[in-house]
Structure 1
Amino acid sequence: MTTTGSLHLPFGELQGYAPGGIPAYSNKHDMYFSGERSVDKNLFCGYKYQCVEFARRWLFERKSLVLPEVSWAVHIFQLKEVPDARTAQPVRCVPVRNGTKVKPVADALLIYPSEEGSPVGHVAVITEVGDDWVRIADQNHRFHKWEGNYAAQLPLSHEKGVWTILDHIEDGVLNPLGWVTFPDTPDRDPSLPLVLHESLRFKPPEKPSLRRVTFTPTSHKENWLDLTNEAEACFAKTFGLNVKRSGESTASYYQMNTELSMTCIRYGNQMHQMFLEATEFVIASDAQLKLFGIPEEYWPRIRHSWKTQPHAITGRFDFAFDEETQQFKCFEYNADSASTLLECGDIQEKWAQSVGLDDGTTQSSGIFVSSRLRMAWEMAGVKGRVHFLVDDDLEEQYTALYVLEQARAVGLDTKLCVLFDEFHFDENGVVVDTDGVAVTAVWKTWMWETAIADQREARLQRGQGWQPTPQDKVRLSDIILGPNWDLRVFEPMWKLIPSNKAILPIIYNNHPDHPAVLRASYELTDELRRTGYARKPIVGRVGRNVTITEPSGAVAAESGGNFSDREVVYQELFRLPKRDDYYAILGGWVIGDVYCGTAVREDKTIITGLLSPVSALRVYIGTPRLTLTHEDLDRAEEAAAASA
């Protein structure tokens, strides 16, 4: 296989033009999903910049045909007809198996099968066919700048009368299912205007919806968690195996429709980028950094972290959605947190299976979390052992074990370390573990603010001029705030900025018209008094020291905590709707650079906190989505031959 370029392009950047002048755009990488719709001359083409989006746009502009809605790219191979764009009348298309006596032709769609880890398959356009090669144009498969009018040239073999296309990728060889041709349809005359029949024009999507469902499980699996899995066993030790909450006779979960799921994805990706841009702005300015309450001595280290450690693993948004007003808002970004990650990526799906919610009409909202965690670890490029630092707390431990499991899956050496007895100083003052392995990479559940406070306390206790010896006990700050500024830490120190609520007024000032952004200010303004507001400490956790005030001036809710001495910000009040007497917060996960999962935390009080339970969240998809492989096609052909 040869490509026409090598540079990995950012999302939305032009890769090149296929024959006919149809542009292809970079999707950044094949695990990124923007959730942003693409509409071309009133035709819904798909989501930017997936492979189907390009194929549908190409078919419309090149052939004046419309690719029907398909669940996955692989399902295109099952089509027998597509509508004419002008008349909406059906036009014949012909699927041809790869590895048959039929030679591929140009202006056909090349379809890839479902694979383990990628059930959706892939679609490309065959632009040109030679004696021993085919050229293809596509999106979301390779991410370079094209030098010609195609993305890649694939080998085409012709042995014993059989034509076979293979796609050699970095870690293997892909064997496409075949191609779909349009034998009755010539290329469109580009001098003529594109016409789209009224029945095929883009229609407004359904409204986003979220509901709480209460039911009585008629049966459930007794051992629904895998107790041989360290993370799940720790979760079971913490909460038990009862599928219903203690003292309740029914079970409950939340269900969102696909449109709300897409809203979470779309706004989650956008908000993540907005917080990164704001972080860059803050880090570049001493005046801005002062607003964040971080001691000045740590500013150079934060800036070094931003410059040298761009890769992150996790961050979680707090979102709220009101179905009645159709408003979707972002409260804050817990950018230095992994809490509830196991619940989102694993537990909620296994719970759903245990109570019979796995009929294929819904799917877990965290279905991609595990694979994206593995992707994030691969992209981070860590070398050597990763030490997972946690407090003596079961929730922190099962969260760490889950993230650790995904790191191990991509070949990393890992070690769980509860508190700090695992470590000591060697003769050179370097922190090493009981195996004598120096600490070079850390994943932690500890807040960076905790490490800063720990270092302040250590200095008071140890005195000026202290130097480590093997007899000294190692502390948190010795590990992640030690002399090695190039220690890889997840989350990196620059995450102090986006996780600090002092960033919220900056987000509002930069994007006041974004539908997910709430007004925020460092001072209580007349406008905030009119709307009502939440008073939040700039540094805090799990809803502590928050006061919610109504437009009347009445305090609607407030919480205690240990952050009362911090500076505060004021954020516009957004009233959480009640669902069955519960208030629900949507926890939106960004893993690596991708929004990829949503969880629900609910409470009967308006301020959710540490003890607010996590509830399962299902996405309604309707028709079950089935994989399609070479083996599936073989079985179908055998069955057809047997019944003939």
Structure 2
Amino acid sequence: MKRITLPARPDWRDKARAVGFGFHVMYGEPYWLDDAAYTFTLDEIETQIEEPSQELHDMCMDMVGDIVGSEEALDRLAIPEDLRDVVQRSWQRRDRHLYGRFDLAYDGTGPAKLLEYNADTPTSVFETAYFQYNWLTDQMALGALPKDADQYNSLQESLVEAFEQFPKGPIFHFAVMTDNEEDRGTTVYLMDCAVQAGHRVELLDIREIGIDAEGRYTDLQDRVIDRCFKLYPWEFMLREPFARELARSGDVFIEPAWKAVLSNKGLLPLLWQRHPNHPNLLASYFADDPAASALTDYVRKPLLSREGENVTIFRDGREFVSAPGDYGDEGFVVQAYAPLFESEGGFAVLGSWVVGDRACGLAVREDRSRITANLSRFVPHVIID
């Protein structure tokens, strides 16, 4: 693993705008970097990223049934008591799921370490699957990369194949907070994948979802929502005023409700408990577990934190760096600290994609902080042997 620089494509901003990638700048800062890349060898991708990601996903899936069947585990994960049956029934039905992204710490010298599983509402899918691949082909054509360069990136075809597995209903709805440009862009891209898979699709703002007299979810045209991808986290869904209707909604939503237990940081200590000393896991405990006191270099994370909010890194038992936010009331986990790949570009975290049940792609984000947050930058990757 190395970070390299190369000339940016002269027309990359025009290309970004042409495909709706307006969020290549966010919060006044560059989000997409066209003049840098992370390089990997093929063996490194296969043995250090793809194979461990597949194993981690299989381990996570093996945990779901035990978690949803345990009131103690659901307590630990702060799943609302009156809606646990929604999560449990979703798993009992084996509601079909779509995708997720592991965040991994890997510096090129040792096993990749799981930081968390974004199993419910991962973004950066468009950048990974589409724009990153176009960057690769353009840079090869320009001579900036060798003709035999490659990428760990079968994400788009995997998504289309996954959408093909969903029944073809009248309309496949896609719900998102449409005023969030990044979330909207992610959702529109996934809609396009669904269209390629033969679905008729409709975009709506999640705040526009209604409920009819029979308790069914409806869109603005009063059409019943039979299938809905929602880029909106289950921890919010389970606390919304309409949550009481979820028990009657069946398998309408994607991701399914059982994903709430995998997208929760409480998964980390449960994995460690089942697979102690696994090479791709970091020692992890619930914050009130006496065993946590043995850690001196560690990270404290809220169960439901997003974009690094309220995450604190401790070195030698002392607070080293922290991020503000609005999480923490739900509880914390602590996880042994793992250094990220560090370069002049900052600190890089690997996002390893899983679609359905198959590992299939890589995204790299770097941040000036050791805590990857909403100002991180997306940097393309390339395989060069």
Summarize the Cα distance change of 1:374–1:546 in structure 2 as closer, same or farther, 3 Å threshold: same
Among candidates 581, 589, 601, match of residue 365 of structure 2 = 601
**Hey, what's the Cα distance between the residues in 2 that align with 1:577 and 1:225?**
27
2:118 paired with 1:334: yes
Structure (1 or 2) with the greater helix fraction: 2
**Hey, what's the Cα distance between the residues in 1 that align with 2:203 and 2:9?**
39
Letter in structure 2 aligned against 1:454: E
Shift of 1:520: 0.7
2:75 paired with 1:290: yes
Summarize the Cα distance change of 1:292–1:220 in structure 2 as closer, same or farther, 3 Å threshold: same
**For the aligned residues, what is the CA RMSD?**
2.5
2:229 aligned counterpart, secondary structure: strand
Q: Within 5 Å, which residues of 2 pair with 1:67-146?
A: none
Shift of 1:482: 3.7
Shift of 1:553: 2.0
1:380 aligned counterpart, secondary structure: coil
2:354 paired with 1:590: yes
Among candidates 84, 87, 93, match of residue 302 of structure 1 = 87
**Hey, what's the Cα distance between the residues in 2 that align with 1:430 and 1:577?**
48
Shift of 1:223: 3.9
2:257 paired with 1:493: yes
2:2 paired with 1:211: yes
**Hey, what's the Cα distance between the residues in 2 that align with 1:539 and 1:289?**
13
2:308 paired with 1:543: yes
Shift of 1:527: 6.8
Letter in structure 1 aligned against 2:279: P
**Hey, what's the Cα distance between the residues in 2 that align with 1:510 and 1:430?**
39
Among candidates 190, 197, 201, match of residue 410 of structure 1 = 197
Shift of 1:272: 0.5
Look up the match of 1:384.
Answer: 170
Q: Is the contact between residue 174 and residue 201 of structure 2 (CA under 8 Å) also seen in structure 1? A: yes
Summarize the Cα distance change of 1:381–1:557 in structure 2 as closer, same or farther, 3 Å threshold: same
**Hey, what's the Cα distance between the residues in 2 that align with 1:396 and 1:404?**
12
Letter in structure 2 aligned against 1:212: R
**Hey, what's the Cα distance between the residues in 2 that align with 1:425 and 1:217?**
49
**Hey, what's the Cα distance between the residues in 2 that align with 1:559 and 1:383?**
44
Q: Is the contact between residue 384 and residue 441 of structure 1 (CA under 8 Å) also seen in structure 2? A: no
Summarize the Cα distance change of 1:257–1:453 in structure 2 as closer, same or farther, 3 Å threshold: same
**Hey, what's the Cα distance between the residues in 2 that align with 1:297 and 1:382?**
32
Letter in structure 2 aligned against 1:360: K
Letter in structure 2 aligned against 1:394: E
Shift of 1:257: 1.2
Look up the match of 1:55.
Answer: none
**Hey, what's the Cα distance between the residues in 1 that align with 2:15 and 2:218?**
39
**Hey, what's the Cα distance between the residues in 2 that align with 1:572 and 1:346?**
34
Q: Within 5 Å, which residues of 2 pair with 1:169-208?
A: none
**Hey, what's the Cα distance between the residues in 2 that align with 1:225 and 1:375?**
25
2:250 aligned counterpart, secondary structure: coil
Q: Within 5 Å, which residues of 2 pair with 1:104-503?
A: 210-217=1-8, 219-220=10-11, 223-225=14-16, 227=18, 232-233=19-20, 235=21, 237-239=22-24, 245=30, 251-262=35-46, 263-324=48-109, 326-355=110-139, 356=142, 357=144, 359-366=146-153, 368-381=154-167, 383-391=169-177, 392-421=179-208, 423-426=209-212, 428=214, 430-455=216-241, 477=242, 481-482=245-246, 484-503=248-267
Shift of 1:578: 1.1
Letter in structure 2 aligned against 1:615: V
Letter in structure 2 aligned against 1:535: R
Q: TM-score, length-normalised on structure 2?
A: 0.90
Equivalent pairs counted in the alignment come to 376
Q: Within 5 Å, which residues of 2 pair with 1:41-80?
A: none
Letter in structure 2 aligned against 1:497: V
Summarize the Cα distance change of 1:534–1:386 in structure 2 as closer, same or farther, 3 Å threshold: same
Letter in structure 1 aligned against 2:44: L
> Structure with the greater relative contact order (CA < 8 A, sep ≥ 6): 1 or 2?
2
Among candidates 284, 292, 298, match of residue 533 of structure 1 = 298
Look up the match of 1:152.
Answer: none
**Hey, what's the Cα distance between the residues in 2 that align with 1:489 and 1:358?**
42
Deviations 1:295-346 (A, max 9, x none): 111111111000113421111100011224x232111111102300011101
**Hey, what's the Cα distance between the residues in 1 that align with 2:211 and 2:279?**
51
**Hey, what's the Cα distance between the residues in 2 that align with 1:506 and 1:384?**
40
1:420 aligned counterpart, secondary structure: helix
Q: Is the contact between residue 535 and residue 570 of structure 1 (CA under 8 Å) also seen in structure 2? A: yes
Which aligned segments of 4 or more residues in structure 1 are displaced greater than 6 angstroms? none
1:487 aligned counterpart, secondary structure: coil
1:316 aligned counterpart, secondary structure: strand
Look up the match of 2:343.
Answer: 579
Letter in structure 1 aligned against 2:163: W
**Hey, what's the Cα distance between the residues in 2 that align with 1:513 and 1:450?**
33
1:254 aligned counterpart, secondary structure: strand
Summarize the Cα distance change of 1:528–1:274 in structure 2 as closer, same or farther, 3 Å threshold: farther
Q: Is the contact between residue 100 and residue 118 of structure 2 (CA under 8 Å) also seen in structure 1? A: yes
**Hey, what's the Cα distance between the residues in 1 that align with 2:65 and 2:325?**
30
Percentage identity across paired residues of the two chains: 26
Q: Is the contact between residue 353 and residue 360 of structure 2 (CA under 8 Å) also seen in structure 1? A: yes
**Hey, what's the Cα distance between the residues in 2 that align with 1:342 and 1:556?**
34
Deviations 1:67-110 (A, max 9, x none): xxxxxxxxxxxxxxxxxxxxxxxxxxxxxxxxxxxxxxxxxxxx
Letter in structure 2 aligned against 1:284: G
**Hey, what's the Cα distance between the residues in 2 that align with 1:505 and 1:429?**
38
Look up the match of 1:103.
Answer: none
Structure 1 unaligned runs (5+)? Answer: 1-209, 456-476, 623-644
**Hey, what's the Cα distance between the residues in 1 that align with 2:238 and 2:297?**
34
Summarize the Cα distance change of 1:280–1:431 in structure 2 as closer, same or farther, 3 Å threshold: closer
**Hey, what's the Cα distance between the residues in 2 that align with 1:524 and 1:309?**
32
Larger Rg: 1
Summarize the Cα distance change of 1:220–1:293 in structure 2 as closer, same or farther, 3 Å threshold: same
Shift of 1:619: 1.7
